[in-house]
């Protein structure tokens, strides 16, 4: 048998396996992280969610890692012992103290559970609050703004889709920018059909930051309906703090706040954090034990010293946020220069580490642009993957693309220029 031939087994998968055997935006995104450059060409990886490698942050983490390795007991516990299913006790206690100060209300270790990454958090939460209920109702996870994070789309382990999205309001701004807003007249929370409401702040992919006023209205709708509000703060507050506009941290008894250590520069240690009522964190604890025995100890052990001396706040405020803001400015300038004369807009980048580019009336849409760019080594993410749960097709969903600007500035600059050049060819090929 040729070495290029695959051995095929006559296997039959369950309906559960459909979640893993069908096409998925998040699978494509992660596979693209390992895409090879074209023959004789250069690779421009601007598609995934890898954070920047910031020397000051890596230096601080490397110092802590060295101290842990030198401490025989700490090192043995970190890699040689299972943690408790709710997660690292001292880390949860230190984080609770930090959050109590931030929210100016009591937060205890019982309000915090650790998971093996935010994806693990959302799989448990979405299936806990959506699907079939004992009262006979089928409830959804409501997304008050579309587009939203592509990873939500495949979280459901239910026989029917669980996501229901409200299209964002589009406000056109000066300088070829636009901004999404929550259409509060169209967004509803129904206690009979809504299991939970979820929004990311800032939003991946657009970099949109839901305003304090919008968040307050959504929280009121949730409280009135007796439905929990899930806030995905993977890029937001209190850490890594990748928000470049005014925004107030938010958490109350009806809120489930999901945090992550990934965008601090630790995506490889897979550490998610859930801040919620004890009933929810107990559910997370039990899911950890059933699905993976225990969450990771590595991430909490590395970050605990940063919490203990407030170094984490300083890194977020003085290093991480300015680093990304500088990269964003550079990427925006590059896009403006390259796209002159084209009907291209970019979402006002108030947070995260992406440019969300709207190629209005692009012939063939951004999937065609994605494929053409990938063939030339330019890796992005076609926008339609982020518009899950809509009741009807929306042309706008096929005209957007996410570009990660966290990488090397010269690579990002050239990648954007080449991407826009391909788009220009597509525009020139059709009547827009």
Output DSSP code: residue 316.
I
Non-local (6+) Cβ contacts of 405 within 8 A are 46, 327, 328, 330, 331, 353, 354, 355, 412
The 10 Å CB-count burial string (b at 16+, else e) for 376-412 is bbbbbbbbbbbbbbbeeebebbbbbbbbbbbbeeeeb
DSSP string covering 42-101: --EE-SS-PPP--HHHHHHHHHHHHHHHHSHHHHHHHHHSPPPTT--HHHHHHHHHHHHH
**Do 93 and 162 lie in a common domain?**
yes
Report the distance separating Cα 284 and Cα 290, nearest Å: 10
Residue 66 falls inside a structural domain: no
Neighbours of 269 (CB within 10 A): 20
Cα-based distances in Å from 171 to 176, 179, 245, 258: 11, 5, 17, 28
CATH number of the domain that residue 250 is part of? 3.40.640.10
Q: Considering its fold, how many domains does the chain have in total?
A: 2
Residue 284 lies in a domain: yes
- From 287, 309, 331, the end of a domain falls on 309
What's the predicted TM-score (pTM) here?
0.91
Cα 168 to Cα 343, 366, 380: the distances in Å are 20, 19, 22
- Tell me if 235 sits within 8 A of 321, measured CB to CB: no
- Domain for residue 197, yes or no? yes
Biggest CA–CA distance in the chain, Å, is 68
- Does residue 65 belong to any structural domain of this protein? no
Write down the pLDDT at residue 20.
64
Query: Strand, helix or coil at 192?
Result: coil
- The pLDDT score that the predictor gives to residue 6 is 56
Q: Are residues 238 and 162 in the same domain?
A: yes
Q: Are strands 177-181 and 194-200 parallel, antiparallel or unpaired?
A: unpaired
In three-state secondary structure terms, 160 is: coil
| Whether 395 and 264 share a structural domain | no
Same-domain pairing of 139 and 283: yes
- Would you say residue 91 lies in a domain? yes
Question: Which residue is it, tokens 């030198």?
Answer: 70
Tell me which of 264, 285, 309 is where a domain ends.
Answer: 309
| Same-domain pairing of 50 and 87 | no
Does one domain contain both 324 and 291?
no
Domain boundary among 277, 309, 341: 309
Of 231, 255, 212, the residue nearest 350 (C-alpha): 212
Residue 209 to residues 218, 231, 235, 329, 380, Cα–Cα distance (Å): 14, 12, 10, 17, 22
334: in domain: yes
Considering the domain architecture, whether residues 247 and 393 belong to the same structural domain is answered as no
CA–centroid distance for 114 within its chain: 17
Please give the pLDDT value at position 429: 86
The helix (run of H) or strand (run of E) holding residue 167 is strand 163-167
363 and 289 share a domain? Answer: no
User: Rounded distance, CA 75 to CA 294, Å?
Assistant: 17
| Half-sphere exposure for 84 (CA within 13 Å, toward CB) | 14
Reported as a single tens digit per residue, the pLDDT across 191-241 is: 999 999 999 999 999 999 999 999 999 999 999 999 999 999 999 999 999
- Please state, as a whole number, how many other Cβ atoms lie within 10 Å of the Cβ of residue 365: 20
Q: Are residues 297 and 382 in the same domain?
A: no
CATH of the domain at 401: 3.90.1150.10
Same domain, 294 and 250: yes
Cβ-proximal residues to 261 (8 Å cutoff; 6+ apart), any chain: 269, 271, 272, 273, 299, 303
- Range(s) of the domain holding residue 46: 23-55+315-427
Give the total residue count for the chain.
Answer: 432
287 vs 279: CA distance, rounded Å: 13
Regions in the chain scoring below 50 on pLDDT: 1-4, 432
Start-to-end Cα distance in the chain: 51
- Identify the residue whose tokens are 């699907």: 131
Q: Residue 71 domain-assigned?
A: no
Phi and psi torsions of 163, nearest 5°? -90, 140
If asked whether residues 286 and 397 sit together in one domain, one would say no
Structure tokens at 265: 């520069």
Contacts of 334 (CB under 8 A, 6+ apart): 412, 413, 416, 417
Whether 105 maps to a domain, the answer reads yes
3-state DSSP helix/strand/coil percent for the chain, to nearest 5? 45, 15, 40
Same domain, 365 and 258: no
Tokens (6 digits) for 85: 């299913």
């Amino acid at each position: 048998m040729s070495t290029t031939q695959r051995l095929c087994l006559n296997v039959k998968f369950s309906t559960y396996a459909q979640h893993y055997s069908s096409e998925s935006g998040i699978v494509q995104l992660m596979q693209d992280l390992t895409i090879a450059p074209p023959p004789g060409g250069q690779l421009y990886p601007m598609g995934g969610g890898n954070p920047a490698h910031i020397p000051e942050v890596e230096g601080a983490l490397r110092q802590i890692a060295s101290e842990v390795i030198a401490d025989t007991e700490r090192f043995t516990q970190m890699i040689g012992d299972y943690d408790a299913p709710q997660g690292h006790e001292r880390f949860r206690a230190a984080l609770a103290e930090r959050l109590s100060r931030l929210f100016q209300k009591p937060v205890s270790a019982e309000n915090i559970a650790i998971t093996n990454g935010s994806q693990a958090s959302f799989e448990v939460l979405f299936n806990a609050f959506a699907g079939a209920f004992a009262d006979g109702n089928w409830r959804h996870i409501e997304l008050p703004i579309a587009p939203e994070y592509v990873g939500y789309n495949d979280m459901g382990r239910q026989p029917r889709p669980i996501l229901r999205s409200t299209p964002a309001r589009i406000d056109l701004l000066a300088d070829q920018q636009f901004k999404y807003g929550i259409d509060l007249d169209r967004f509803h929370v129904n206690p009979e059909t809504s299991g939970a409401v979820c929004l990311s702040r800032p939003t991946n992919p657009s970099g949109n930051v839901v305003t304090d006023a919008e968040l307050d209205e959504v929280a009121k709708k949730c409280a009135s309906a007796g439905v929990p509000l899930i806030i995905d703060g993977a890029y937001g507050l209190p850490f890594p703090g990748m928000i470049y506009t005014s925004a107030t941290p938010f958490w109350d008894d009806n809120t489930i706040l999901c945090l992550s250590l990934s965008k601090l520069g630790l995506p490889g240690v897979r550490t998610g954090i859930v801040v919620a009522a004890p009933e929810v964190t107990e559910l997370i604890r039990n899911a950890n034990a059933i699905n993976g025995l225990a969450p990771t100890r590595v991430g909490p052990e590395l970050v605990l010293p940063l919490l203990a001396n407030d170094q984490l706040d300083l890194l977020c405020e003085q290093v991480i946020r300015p680093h990304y803001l500088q990269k964003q400015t550079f990427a925006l300038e590059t896009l403006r220069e390259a796209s002159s004369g084209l009907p291209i807009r970019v979402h006002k980048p108030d947070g995260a580490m992406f440019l969300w580019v709207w190629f209005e009336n692009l012939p063939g849409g951004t999937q065609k642009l994605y494929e053409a760019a990938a063939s030339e080594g330019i890796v992005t993410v076609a926008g339609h993957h982020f518009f899950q749960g809509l009741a009807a097709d929306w042309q706008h969903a096929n005209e957007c693309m996410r570009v990660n600007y966290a990488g090397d500035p010269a690579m990002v600059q050239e990648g954007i220029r080449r991407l826009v050049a391909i788009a220009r060819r597509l525009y020139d090929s059709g009547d827009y």
